[in-house]
Structures are given as structure tokens and as C-alpha cells.
Structure 1
Amino acid sequence: MSIAAPDLPPEPAAGRAGNTPADGTRSGATRTPSGRPSSSRTAPAGRALELAGAQPVPGTRSLRLAEIGGLCRAVAAEAVRERRMPGEDRLGPLATAAARAAGARVPLSAVLRACQEGLRSALDVAGTVERNHAGTAEGNHAGTGDGRDEDGLPSATDLMLELLRAVTGVVGDAYVDEDRQLAVERRAAGQALASALLSGRPGTAVARHSGLPIAPYYQVVALAAVPSGPPDEQAARGSRGVPAAVAEVLGAETPGLLAHTGGTLLLARVPGEPEFTAELLAELSAAAGSALAATAMVAAAGQVPEAAEQVHELLELARLAGRGPGLHGLDDLAMEYQLTRDGPAGRQLARLLDPLEAHPELFETARAYLRNDMNRRLTARQLFVHPNTVDYRLRRIGRLTGIDLATAAGIAQATAALLARDMDRTGRDRTGRTGDMWDEADARRG
């Protein structure tokens, strides 16, 4: 006994093999025998929809979902009619449609729901037909008790369950493959534009061929992960890293040069684009799985290199001043910034603490004492010494340097001298800051 195929709408033309997508997604991509997109593909230059991160044009999402749903209904109808699972030649167009949906930025959850709805609608029709035949089949003792009819063929319900497993597997794999490849291409486009801007060449062919628009102004952001606890504890907590967090929150195509622990981010200052705020930094920190510190300033496209140098210097200054995670601006660091400017006064400040070179425990005590707002008992607990030992070390610092840490003038002088010394040791000749800088900073902290 055969089950009549449901009377379904015709398959959408856009979903048929060989048709060119209407939304600018990849056509002619190499396919595997299973119909899934191959991962060895090269992105054509100037793919504006994918690489620029633009939202799909109105109707694109509904078209992609209608295509997926129509294909699923058609595949299900054929499976019910022939009472067997479809071959790869029938599942291949589903993989192609799923890849197009990924390129149009249709969420995977919506794509899978469209598949399920298409299969369900076919199952509803097939179930009605099967029930109509049930009375006749009952009189003839139809069925074998194992989900098959008297001909040994699977029932429509069993067939649909198997079809659901196969279809969701093909669609999910194709979508994820395409989405991963597009993310790589978008990230490469963002890196190409960032490299051109940070090298002072915003009008070069590299910048134009990235596929991303060049804005007149950018918010230049310096980012760094702030270690908390010993390295083994940090590893146990796990961290996705800054690039993954930026891709999740802002999009993989966001211009930037980023390593696992930080780097430089460029946000276009145009309507509709996000502004880097403390709230956005909190989102990035949550996505990265680690606390982040940042500094930011707005600059014209041609002045991005100078702005990048300044924000990274400010971020390093915030680190040396013990500011911790958060968004730090020039207003917050104005005193420290001015005190550490290069010149005779800055160099003289740095030399004030030279007599302590042979006494690292005195440097450690001075830093802890100032960091703890001159609380000698808290300083003693952190250093695992007696408070009297802290007093002794402070007096010794005074004898060696002439700086009395029991007075307001001495505290200000010591704070400025430590900052000047740290900045002098760090160096001010960094220009294009990339991930290597953050690896070096982590090594210094360790």
C-alpha cells in the first residue's frame, strides 16, 4: 500500500540548484559530496553584504526562511511518496540554502525552525492521508508491529522522524561551515582596514579593497586584559579572549588588531555605530571571560596612528598607577600623565629612587604603602611582615632618598617618582600596538 504524496506548494525557484542567489551570498562555491559547502574557498573582493556587516535588505530574511521551508516540504513530500529517505542529490540544495541564510545573517535558530515547520506541514498532510487508509489497512491486518506496513516499508511518522534527523544535520552543518568561513573573511577585512589606518594610510588600495567603508572619524580604543589571581587560577577559570569577545559583541568585521589579551580597536564614528562606553566595556569583559581595562579617544582617519599611541600610553599609565579594570580617560589620569612627560624634570623624578636599586624590598614596600592609601597595617598584611617592619622600611627609604613618606609632600613626590621611573623603564617608543605588546605586559606582570 502506498501513501499519497501531500499536495504542497511548488519549490521556490531561489532554492533550486544552479540558481544565483539574489542577496549577494556566495554562488558557485565548491561543494562536498554531501552537498555541504567546502571550507576551502576564497572570498571575492568587495562582498559588501557579508564583509561590511550590513544588515540584510528588507525581505531577505523572509526569502531565505521561505526557501528553507519550501525545500523541506518538497523533500518531505517526495520521501512520503517514494516511502524512502532522500538521497544526497535532494539534500544538497538544502545545504546550499542554509549557506545562503548564513550569508544573509539569518539566525540559525530561525533556520532550524523553518525546517521543522516545513517538515511538520508535510507530516500533517501525510498523517491525514495515512489515517484515511487506516480503516482499510485494519481490515486486512496491515502492519507488522514494528512501524512498517504490510509491504515492509516505514510508516510516514517513522520516515519523518528519520528525515528530521537527516535534514537538521545537513542544514546545521552547512550553516555553521558557512558562518565560520564568513567570520574568518570578515575578521580579515577588519584587520586589513585597521592595518591601513594604523599605518597612516587610510586612502590606500588595501583600505578600499577591505570591503568596509572608511569613516572620516574613529574612536580609537586600547584594550587589555587585567590579570586577577595566580596564572593557574586564571587558566582554570578559562578565557575566550578579546578577539572572540569583540566578534560576539561588535561583529567580526570590526576593524582592529587584537591578540588574546588585548590590542587596538577602531570604531567608526558614524550614525548607527556603537560608541565605546563603560557599559560596552562591561559587555566585552563578560564575553571575554576576564576583566578588561581600556582607554579611548576620537581622531580623524588620518590621525589614527597618533591617537593609538596616546591611548596605549594612557592604558599603560593606568596599569602602572594600579587603576585596574574599567574605562580610563585622560581626565582620570591627567596628573599622572603630566608628571610623566618626557623632559629634564621627568628624568630627575625617575632618578630620585635610584638609591633603592639594591633594595627591592624597599621598592615593594613603597608601592604597597602608597597603593593602600598609607595604611601600614594593611601593607604589613599584604607583605606578610609585622607593622613595625613596615615602619622601619619607610624610615630607611627616607634616609636613602630624602623622601619622607610620613608627609603629604613626600607621598606626592614618591608617587610621581615611581610613575616616572616605571614609564621610563617601559619606554615611550611604541607606535603600532598589537597583541605582542600585551604578551610582553603579561610577562612583566608575571
Structure 2
Amino acid sequence: MTVHNSTGLGIMVAGQPASAPLRDFRAVARLLVGHFAANTPCGSLPGEQLHGDVTEFTVKCISIAVQMLDERRAPAESDLAELRAKASQWAREGVPLESVLSVYHEGIQIGWNLVSKRAGEGDAAQLIEAARMFVLLSEKVSIAASKSYVEELQAVASEHHTAAHTLVTSLLSGHNAVSMARQSGIELADSYLVLALSVPPHPDENDPNIQKTVAARRKLRRVQAELATVCGRTPLSLLSTEGGTVLIPGVHDDEWVEALVHRIGTAAEVPVTATAEQAATADIPTAADQVHELLSLAHQLHRPSGLYRMDDLVLEYQLTRPGPGRRHLTQILEPLDSSPELLETLEIHISHDLNRQRSARQLHLHTNTVDYRLKRIAQLTGFDPTRPSGIRHLQAALVARRLESSRGAA
């Protein structure tokens, strides 16, 4: 950029161009860089970066300020191109935005001090005009740099997301995971928590005044943000607005996983259902199939939201395998088909851990009536729901019937 010195047009201070104290670019740059090193977050940058990139950037800012003071105009977009490029570079290198903006604002402040300290009593009008130029410079530079920095961060995040998406796909399929991890720069762990997640619709998704897709995407972003907060950038996930699969490196105990599921539900603002299994990296495909099968099973059985592991659904899981045993179990309850109130009583009695008083309250019946119905169930099925041996068969029969019913509906 060419620096002009049109005294007829430019701002004058103390009988000289206001830009005069800034014209020795290198001297002013050394002053600014020394100030940055001692007084701003830039002091933590490596020396070669501070005296290389920062100095070059500072010289460019000074040259823009000189042109603005000499020509009384805002910088053109082309004048800001180098500053935008530098901000993008620093974003990719991980230089904090605070450091970037400190360079801009501190440099502009020192430049203003160099110009204004020469002013005399008769320079008020010109000084006001110079101040306007510095304010305009701060605005233009801050917007250009922040926009470029954020755009670069978004690009980096997009690259990481694509790499993570590719890697999790490889892990779930069991193909080329090591090679893909090397290409993506993501380190593989020896073990992962494999989490299958089901996220129901948020109330906003059913609000006619809100676009359903917008509400669903907001919910998904909140879940993704919570995962990033809890696990850092390490969780690998394939998530839609309805749920999906999450791979979290390392070994985690039940308490930690339960807390994670609770936090995900809080972020989604809906009660979520999750199933989890710890697996070695090579066993992820098998574990993923298993946790998603458990998740489907929890839905088929109308289980409440929360976290489930194989221990919680092992009987039900085994009963999903068709065979003569399951067919026999479904037949146990056939004598109750003509008495739906008995089936309802049995289900509620089991859900309340065989507590007659709680069952009676939910059914709005006297406990004697509940006792009568339980006796009728025993008479019709041959299995007594008040005895451990009988309740095991009846509970398994209920599960088998639900599974048969859901399979028939499908």
C-alpha cells in the first residue's frame, strides 16, 4: 500500500501531518512489540512469532493508520486483506483471540498517543478528526480480524468434525480404524465406552409457532456441546436429532456414565434413554450392535428413560431370541386374555416390586381386591404371583408377550 503525504488534504497536528510520528514504521513497530511483550497476552508467544508475525502485522496496521490520517478515509477492503490473513493464520495456530485483539487495540492506542501528545491549543478540531480516524480504524480492523478468525475456527472445526465422523464410522464398521486415525490426527484409545442414545422430541418440536427442524437442531447442538464440555474434543459420535452412537475413550465407572446421561438429558431438556457397554477398540462393532439392540428392547418394553446396561435387561435380552421356550412362555398368559383387568393387575404388581399396598393405590382398589385378583391369576395360569417360583414365570411370560406383540406390529 502506498503512503501519501498530501498536506492539503491530510489531518495536521502541530503544523505537521498528524501521521508524522508514525512514519518510521520499523521504529514504531519495535516500540509496539516491546509494549506487547511486557503488557499483553502476546508476551506468552514464542520470541520468533512475537518479533516476526506480530511485528509484520504491526507495521501493516501503522501503514493503514498513516494512510487514513493523510487521506481522511476508511481503509479499503484490499488494505485489510493482510490483517485478515494473519488473523486466520493465528486462529489455525491456536493463538487465543484475546491475544489477537490485544495486538490490534493496544497498537491503535499507542498510535493515538504518539499522534495526540504533539497537539497544541489550536489543534482541537484536527485532533477530533484524527480521533475519528483512529476509532474508525479500530472498528474496521476489529471486525475484519474477528470475522476472519471465527471463519477459520469454523473451518478447522469442520475439518475435525469430518475427520471424527470418518473415524467413528471406521471404528463402528471395524475397518481401517488405525489408518484413519493416523490420517485424521486423532489418537485411538485402547478402550471406549460405547453409548447408544435415544433422544425424544423436545416440546418445541411440537409447537406450531416454531419450525420443527429448527427446534430439533437446537436440541442436537445442546447435546453435542454438553458432550464436548464433559469429554473435551475427544468423544466420537454419530448423532441425529433422535439420538445415535457415542464413543468415549477410556474406562468409566457406572456413576460417571449415569452422571453423563443425566447431563445429556438436562442439555436436551428431555428425558433421554441410553444403553452402555465398555469395549476394547477391536470389539466396538459388536458392542455397538449390542447396545443398540438393548436400546430397542428398552423401548419395546416401555421402560422409563435412564441408563441401562446388559445386567439390567439380561433376561429380557435373552427372551428376544425366538424359540420353543419363548412360545411356551407366551402361552402361559393366554387364560387371562378374557380378563384384561387381571393382566393389568399383574403388570402393576410386578412394577411395584410385589407391594400390594402400592399396587392397590395405583389401581384405586382395596388390597383385598388385589389379593383376590392375584389368586385368580394363580388359578387360571397355574403360577402363583405371590410366590418367587410363580412370579419368575409370570414376569418372563409378560416380557415374551410384549416382544411377540411388538414383532407382530412391526
Band the TM-score falls in, shorter-chain normalisation: 0.5 to 0.7
Q: Residues 119-168 of structure 1, C-alpha deviation per residue, up to 9 Å, x if partnerless?
A: 2343234235313213342xxxx41xxxxx28xx8232x33332333223
C-alpha deviation, 1:111, in angstroms: 0.9
Q: Residues 371-399 of structure 1, C-alpha deviation per residue, up to 9 Å, x if partnerless?
A: 344566766776xx642698487677666
Amino acid at match of 1:387: L
C-alpha deviation, 1:306, in angstroms: 1.3
TM-score, with length taken from structure 1:
0.63
Contact 1:222 1:294 in 2 (8 A): yes
The match for 2:293 is 313
Equivalent position SS for 2:219: coil
The match for 1:92 is 81
The match for 1:134 is 120
Amino acid at match of 2:325: A
Equivalent positions of 1:272-311 (< 5 A) are: 277-311=257-291
C-alpha deviation, 1:114, in angstroms: 3.1
- Supply the distance in 1 between the matched residues of 2:185 and 2:326 (Cα, whole angstroms): 45
The match for 1:78 is 64
The match for 2:97 is 111
Equivalent positions of 1:158-197 (< 5 A) are: 158-197=132-171
TM-score, with length taken from structure 2:
0.67
- Supply the distance in 2 between the matched residues of 1:228 and 1:358 (Cα, whole angstroms): 39
- Supply the distance in 2 between the matched residues of 1:65 and 1:361 (Cα, whole angstroms): 84
Residue 418 to residue 77, structure 1, CA distance change in 2 (3 Å): farther
Q: Specify which structure has the higher proportion of helix.
A: 2
Equivalent position SS for 1:166: helix
Q: Does 1:325 align with 2:311?
A: no
The match for 1:51 is none
Q: Does 1:412 align with 2:392?
A: yes
Q: 1:8 aligns with which of 25, 28, 46?
A: 28
Amino acid at match of 1:175: Y
Contact 1:404 1:410 in 2 (8 A): yes
Equivalent positions of 1:225-374 (< 5 A) are: 225=199, 232=206, 239-240=219-220, 242-247=223-228, 249-250=230-231, 254-269=235-250, 277-319=257-299, 320=301, 322=303, 324-326=305-307, 328-334=308-314, 336-337=316-317, 343-354=323-334, 366-374=346-354
- Supply the distance in 2 between the matched residues of 1:377 and 1:231 (Cα, whole angstroms): 39
CA RMSD of aligned residues (A): 4.7
Equivalent position SS for 2:118: helix
C-alpha deviation, 1:77, in angstroms: 5.7
- Structure 2 runs not aligned, ≥5 long: 1-11, 33-43
**Structure with the greater alpha carbon radius of gyration:** 2
Amino acid at match of 1:174: S
Contact 2:64 2:79 in 1 (8 A): no
- Supply the distance in 1 between the matched residues of 2:351 and 2:139 (Cα, whole angstroms): 60
Residue 356 to residue 187, structure 1, CA distance change in 2 (3 Å): farther
- Structure 1 runs not aligned, ≥5 long: 13-57, 144-148, 428-442
Structure 1 stretch displaced more, 82-91 or 334-343: 334-343
Amino acid at match of 2:91: A
Residue 124 to residue 184, structure 1, CA distance change in 2 (3 Å): closer
Residue 312 to residue 398, structure 1, CA distance change in 2 (3 Å): same
Q: Residues 43-93 of structure 1, C-alpha deviation per residue, up to 9 Å, x if partnerless?
A: xxxxxxxxxxxxxxx968995999579736742563255323322123222
- Supply the distance in 2 between the matched residues of 1:277 and 1:61 (Cα, whole angstroms): 44
The match for 1:19 is none
Residue 197 to residue 395, structure 1, CA distance change in 2 (3 Å): same
Structure 1 stretch displaced more, 360-369 or 175-184: 360-369
- Supply the distance in 1 between the matched residues of 2:47 and 2:333 (Cα, whole angstroms): 65
C-alpha deviation, 1:305, in angstroms: 1.6
The match for 1:41 is none
The count of corresponding residues between Structure 1 and Structure 2 is 362
Q: Which has the higher contact order (CA 8 A, sep 6+)?
A: 1
Amino acid at match of 2:76: G
Contact 1:202 1:302 in 2 (8 A): no
Q: Residues 408-429 of structure 1, C-alpha deviation per residue, up to 9 Å, x if partnerless?
A: 44443333223334445567xx
- Supply the distance in 1 between the matched residues of 2:46 and 2:339 (Cα, whole angstroms): 69
- Supply the distance in 1 between the matched residues of 2:387 and 2:21 (Cα, whole angstroms): 93
The match for 1:123 is 109
Residue 90 to residue 313, structure 1, CA distance change in 2 (3 Å): same
Contact 1:66 1:114 in 2 (8 A): no
Equivalent position SS for 1:85: coil
What is the identity percentage for the equivalent residue pairs of Structure 1 and Structure 2? 33
C-alpha deviation, 1:229, in angstroms: 8.2
- Supply the distance in 1 between the matched residues of 2:61 and 2:281 (Cα, whole angstroms): 52
The match for 2:365 is 387
Residue 344 to residue 132, structure 1, CA distance change in 2 (3 Å): same
Q: Residues 322-371 of structure 1, C-alpha deviation per residue, up to 9 Å, x if partnerless?
A: 35324x33344455555666554344334434556677776555444433
- Supply the distance in 2 between the matched residues of 1:420 and 1:397 (Cα, whole angstroms): 17
Amino acid at match of 2:28: L
Equivalent position SS for 2:194: strand
Contact 2:228 2:235 in 1 (8 A): yes
